């Protein structure tokens, strides 16, 4: 039964909408890039580095995450990082990946935006040709920096505007509310970009409300804290603004003490459009399928609920309507086939 249930998740067509490329670098690749670029890291072996992935909170993770970004210096580094994630996502039956990239991690230490973007986009194009996986690139600006630096980061990537699916806000949340970037995101909309905002991971429900009401986010990344504001939950459900939840990330960063406490099921029952994602899968030890398995086990999700989460992932994706319908049809066909196969297995000989 366990293997059969895991197989259902493994083959379930899905989109992943909340995944940071810089957070997908497996220890083996990080060490290889460090050697290639002459970067001295405190760890010499992958297992020693993996053992360091024990975090007390978001900031303790970010400290290591920013250190990991130091190994990325050249076009090929960004290509290798992106290609590795997309191979893994394809293996997890991800048909559409919308991934975050924070150019400020690199441009502020002298690496040209063209170096970053060319490597990432080359990997995206090759993965689409070879694997059939569709990828949308989302540019993150960091909320612990100034709004002025956010505008500079946006200007730096404008030559690739037609390749950017959305602009978002990430980084250390406490003390950095979305309202600080209201002018910036107004400009993003004027330039034609979708807007996504990290809010309510460690920050309060008020940050989620700012993302929803003041910024007018198309999606809210995390958003867990909205459960502290029942009226906001109702508004999110009515509006259809999706939340891109990252349950294992929340557990690893001690946002929740146990997955059984995660608000995923509560939000589903309230009618909020929620999706399940991996956030920074290397650092948290769980890609999207492993997140779904963990949620199924902790929250008792049925196959029908898992299928609805997959449908939500495509409903929330930044894709044309005809692509959305095609993806949803893939989910429906997969579920129908799984039901038939299950009936066949259970039919007396």
26, 98, 201, 210: which one is catalytic?
201
Phi-psi region of 171 (alpha: psi -120 to 50; beta: other; left: phi over 0): left
Distance CA 67, CA 46 (A): 15
Average pLDDT, the chain: 94
pLDDT tens digits for range 76-92: 999 999 999 999 999 99
List, in sequence order, the alpha helices (H) in the chain. Answer: 2-11, 27-37, 46-51, 58-69, 75-91, 104-107, 113-131, 147-157, 182-190, 205-209, 230-239, 247-252, 264-269, 281-284, 288-299, 303-315, 321-346
pLDDT for 349? 35
Name the DSSP class of 348.
-
Estimate to the nearest angstrom the gap between the alpha carbon of 334 and the chain centroid: 24
pLDDT tens digits for range 20-73: 999 999 999 999 999 999 999 888 899 988 988 888 888 888 888 888 899 999
Which residues lie below 8 Å from residue 149, measured CB to CB, with a gap of 6+?
104, 108, 141, 142
pLDDT for 68? 85
Q: Mean of the pLDDT values across residues 172-181?
A: 96
pLDDT for 348? 39
Percent of the chain residues topping a pLDDT of 90:
87
Phi (first) and psi of residue 176, to 5 degrees = -130, 70
What pTM does this model have?
0.94
At residue 3 the predicted structure's pLDDT band, cuts being 50, 70 and 90, is low
Burial 2-34 (b: 16+ CB within 10 A, else e): eeeebebbeebbbbbbbbbbbbbbbbebbbbbb
DSSP string, 79-104: HHHHHHHHHHHHHTTEEEEEEEE-TH
By CB atoms closer than 10 A (0-12, 13-18, 19+), residue 184 is buried
pLDDT for 4? 64
Pair of tokens at residue 65:
């995450």
Given a cut of 70, is residue 2 above it in pLDDT?
no
Pair of tokens at residue 111:
């690496």
Bridge partners of 134, per DSSP, are 96
pLDDT tens digits for range 250-279: 999 999 999 999 999 999 999 999 999 999
At residue 342 the predicted structure's pLDDT band, cuts being 50, 70 and 90, is low
pLDDT for 55? 87
**CATH number of the 2-343 domain:** 3.20.20.140
pLDDT tens digits for range 37-47: 999 988 889 99
For residues 170 and 347, the model is more confident at 170
Burial 120-149 (b: 16+ CB within 10 A, else e): bbbbbeebeeebebbbbbbbbbbbebebeb
Distance CA 16, CA 165 (A): 14
Segments making up each domain of the chain, as ranges: 2-343
Given a cut of 60, is residue 344 above it in pLDDT?
no
pLDDT for 59? 84
201 given a catalytic annotation: yes
| 26-35, 61-70, 286-295, 304-313, range with the lowest pLDDT | 61-70
pLDDT for 57? 86
């Amino acid at each position: 039964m366990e293997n059969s249930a895991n197989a259902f998740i493994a083959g379930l067509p899905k989109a992943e909408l909340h995944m940071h490329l810089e957070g997908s670098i497996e220890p083996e690749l990080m060490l290889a890039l460090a050697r290639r670029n002459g970067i001295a890291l405190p760890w010499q072996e992958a297992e020693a580095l993996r053992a360091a992935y024990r975090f007390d909170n978001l900031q303790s993770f970010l400290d290591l995450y920013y250190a990991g970004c130091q190994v990325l210096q050249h076009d090929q580094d960004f290509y290798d990082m992106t290609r590795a994630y997309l191979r893994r996502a394809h293996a997890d039956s991800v048909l559409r990946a919308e991934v975050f990239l924070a150019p400020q991690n690199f441009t502020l230490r002298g690496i040209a935006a063209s170096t970053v973007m060319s490597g990432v986009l080359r990997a995206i194009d090759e993965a689409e040709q070879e694997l059939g996986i569709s990828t949308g690139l989302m540019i993150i600006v960091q909320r612990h920096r100034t709004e002025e630096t956010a505008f500079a980061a946006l200007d730096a990537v404008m030559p690739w505007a037609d390749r950017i699916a959305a602009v978002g806000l990430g980084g250390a949340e406490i003390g950095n509310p979305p309202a600080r970037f209201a002018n910036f995101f107004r400009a993003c909309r004027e330039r034609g970009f979708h807007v996504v905002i990290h809010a309510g991971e460690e920050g309060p429900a008020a940050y989620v409300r700012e993302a929803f009401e003041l910024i007018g986010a198309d999606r809210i990344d995390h958003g867990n804290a909205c459960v502290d504001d029942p009226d906001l939950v109702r508004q999110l459900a009515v509006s259809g603004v999706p939340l891109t939840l990252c349950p294992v990330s929340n557990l690893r960063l001690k946002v929740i003490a146990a997955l059984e406490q995660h608000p995923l099921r509560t939000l589903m029952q309230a009618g909020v459009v929620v999706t399940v994602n991996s956030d920074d899968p290397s650092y948290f030890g769980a890609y999207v399928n492993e997140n779904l398995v963990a949620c199924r086990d902790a929250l008792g999700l049925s196959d029908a609920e898992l299928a609805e989460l997959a449908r939500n992932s495509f409903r929330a994706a930044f894709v044309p309507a005809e692509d959305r319908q095609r993806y949803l049809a893939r989910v429906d066909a997969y579920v129908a086939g799984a039901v038939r196969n299950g009936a066949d297995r259970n039919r007396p000989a």
